[in-house]
Amino acid sequence: MKFDELNIIDPILRALENKGYKNPSPIQEKTIPLLLDDKDVIGIAQTGTGKTAAFVVPVLQKLHERSNGPRSKSPRALVLAPTRELAIQIAMSFTDYGRFLNLKHLAVYGGVSIGPQIRTLQHGVDILIATPGRLMDLMNQGKVDLGKVEFFVLDEADRMLDMGFVRDIKKIASSIPKERQGLFFSATMSNTVADLTLDFLKDPVRVDIAPEHIAVDKIEQCVFFIDQRDKIDLLIDLIKQQKMNKVLVFVGMKYRADKIVTALERAGISAEAIHGNKSQHQRTRALNNFKNGRAMVMVATDIAARGIDIKDIGHVINFDLPNEPENYVHRIGRTARAGKEGTAYSFCEACDRNFLHQIERLTKRRIEQADHKYHSLTAKNAVGNAAKPAPRRGFGGSGRGNSRGGSSGGRGGRDNRSRGNSGGRSRDSGRGRSSGSDRSGGHGRSARGGESRGRSRSGNSAGRNRSRR
């Protein structure tokens, strides 16, 4: 299938060609004709599938076809995105695909001054891309009129709900005319997302791009059973031994991201952190440093990394396993963008064992185990309560008590606004008491010490000598 078989107008086809895109991705192939045909759509797809163009192209086309006379002062399309980064990226797609059209767009998001955004709005924009919080500010100040919106796009709906934006979204949606075309994108289809679609979409057509289509086939995946205290050493060894040069490391907690960056820098590895506590300026700088290669490693939390489009990431490392299996697919999808291949390594502590099972169930695939010098039998063999994160115990509670030695406070502090950020922060020394793990020492081939120079089928040294569990 070619783009020109999708009834896309010439100026957009030229823009797609300029970008070097030859064929529509599956989500684009399915969604673009539906949207051009005035249907409401719920797309189950995540970052990396080409979902942005799947709505940007038809929105541009329909606005262009319906344009007559001078530009309206109020936006005719509204795109809501959960994070600043995603909003900026969507705006870049409007720039890219709309370069031969006379449509104006603006991205508004928090963390930067509202004044310039207001001034641009006053000159009139066709398309407004917004994070819910900043849009609410603008609405409350009477600086934006949503009464002319014809297209309402909600990107990463599940993430928006997760971040506690549901009330804002409902309020925003109630300010938009009922006669509009609606599109939701969500990586997962929870009951809450389904409820939201009932409220906002009219007989939506569901387009499903299952995670396994994008991630599992092309990405080499490997799990390292390990204790918390050894994770940093393993990370440093892997990066050095395998001469990795564009590595995205995922962590569960914001403060841990900074600690890892410090440890990496101490080991001579340039690194940046991106998470919710960073200012917009810091995030942009970190992202640019990573994109242009000044920083070899980016350490990120799920929310901060959502929607970030960075090309040529060779390795994704789950320093902490995600507590929702869908997030695993999101994360590793970063290394196989637009059909490229990549490698995903996951560190699994005892208390992550159940998460690992859930991930394997979701992806319908058993992840191969790496033999390495920090191998922990405790982690590998954990069952029952030891295979789960310890229950949280209120303020500053230890949140510990299972076999995971010296590690941080369970999952309570994961970067997820709707769940708070508690959980034994001060305990995360990365050293702590012994977990009683059975480290295999010289067993297997170490990622450190360079005993072997052989290469695995993917060309990675740490992944060789894998065993099936």
Stretch that binds ligand AMP, among 22-30, 241-249, 261-269, 449-457 (CB under 6 A): 22-30
Q: What one-character-per-residue DSSP string does 347-358 give?
A: EE-GGGHHHHHH
Smallest gap from residue 204 Cβ to ligand AMP (A): 20
Residue 444 near ligand AMP by CB under 6 A? no
Residue 335 near ligand AMP by CB under 6 A? no
Smallest gap from residue 458 Cβ to ligand AMP (A): 22
CA pair distance 391, 253, nearest whole angstrom: 16
Residue 378 near ligand AMP by CB under 6 A? no
| 3-class secondary-structure state, position 430 | coil
Smallest gap from residue 5 Cβ to ligand AMP (A): 13
Burial of 442 (0-12, 13-18, 19+ CB in 10 A): exposed
Residue 252 near ligand AMP by CB under 6 A? no
Stretch that binds ligand AMP, among 19-27, 140-148, 190-198, 442-450 (CB under 6 A): 19-27
Which residues, in sequence order, are CB contacts of 266 under 8 Å at separation 6+?
Answer: none
Closer Cβ to ligand AMP, 99 or 443, answer by number: 99
Stretch that binds ligand AMP, among 45-53, 204-212, 223-231, 247-255 (CB under 6 A): 45-53
**CB-facing half-sphere around the CA of 70: CA atoms within 13 A:** 4
Residue 337 near ligand AMP by CB under 6 A? yes
| 3-class secondary-structure state, position 433 | coil
Closer Cβ to ligand AMP, 21 or 151, answer by number: 21
Q: Which of 6, 8, 21, 378 binds ligand AMP (CB under 6 A)?
A: 21
Stretch that binds ligand AMP, among 23-31, 144-152, 446-454, 461-469 (CB under 6 A): 23-31
For the four alpha carbons of 308, 311, 316 and 319, in that order, the dihedral sign comes to negative
CA pair distance 469, 452, nearest whole angstrom: 22
Q: Are 469 and 365 in contact (CB under 8 A)?
A: no
Residue 50 near ligand AMP by CB under 6 A? yes
**CB-facing half-sphere around the CA of 18: CA atoms within 13 A:** 13
Smallest gap from residue 47 Cβ to ligand AMP (A): 5
Q: Which of 53, 125, 235, 304 binds ligand AMP (CB under 6 A)?
A: 53
- Residue 283 DSSP symbol: H
CA pair distance 255, 276, nearest whole angstrom: 10
Residue 31 near ligand AMP by CB under 6 A? no
Residue 291 dihedral angles phi and psi, to the nearest 5°: -60, -45
Residue 29 near ligand AMP by CB under 6 A? no
Residue 338 near ligand AMP by CB under 6 A? yes
Smallest gap from residue 53 Cβ to ligand AMP (A): 5
Residue 24 near ligand AMP by CB under 6 A? yes
Stretch that binds ligand AMP, among 44-52, 69-77, 108-116, 424-432 (CB under 6 A): 44-52
E strand residue ranges, 200-286: 205-208, 219-225, 247-250, 271-274
Residue 1 near ligand AMP by CB under 6 A? no
Stretch that binds ligand AMP, among 46-54, 62-70, 344-352, 436-444 (CB under 6 A): 46-54
Burial of 291 (0-12, 13-18, 19+ CB in 10 A): middle
Closer Cβ to ligand AMP, 16 or 235, answer by number: 16
Residue 379 Ramachandran class (φ > 0 left, ψ -120 to 50 alpha, else beta): alpha
Q: Which of 30, 41, 49, 273 binds ligand AMP (CB under 6 A)?
A: 49
HEC string of 360-425 equals HHHHCCCCEECCCCCCEHHHHHCCHHHHCCCCCCCCCCCCCCCCCCCCCCCCCCCCCHHHCCCCCH
| 3-class secondary-structure state, position 276 | coil
Residue 30 near ligand AMP by CB under 6 A? no
Amino acid at site 148: K
Element (H, E) at 265: helix 254-266
Q: Are 415 and 276 in contact (CB under 8 A)?
A: yes
Stretch that binds ligand AMP, among 48-56, 267-275, 318-326, 414-422 (CB under 6 A): 48-56
Residue 48 near ligand AMP by CB under 6 A? yes
Q: Which of 309, 360, 368, 438 binds ligand AMP (CB under 6 A)?
A: 309
Residues contacting ligand AMP: total by CB under 6 A: 14
Instruction: Retrieve residue 178's tokens.
Output: 């009922």
Residue 25 near ligand AMP by CB under 6 A? yes
Smallest gap from residue 52 Cβ to ligand AMP (A): 3
Stretch that binds ligand AMP, among 17-25, 193-201, 241-249, 343-351 (CB under 6 A): 17-25
Residue 52 near ligand AMP by CB under 6 A? yes
For the four alpha carbons of 196, 200, 204 and 210, in that order, the dihedral sign comes to negative
Closer Cβ to ligand AMP, 83 or 354, answer by number: 83
Q: Are 41 and 186 in contact (CB under 8 A)?
A: no
Cross-strand bridge partners of residue 44: 186, 208
Footprint of ligand AMP (CB under 6 A)? 21, 24-25, 28, 47-53, 309, 337-338
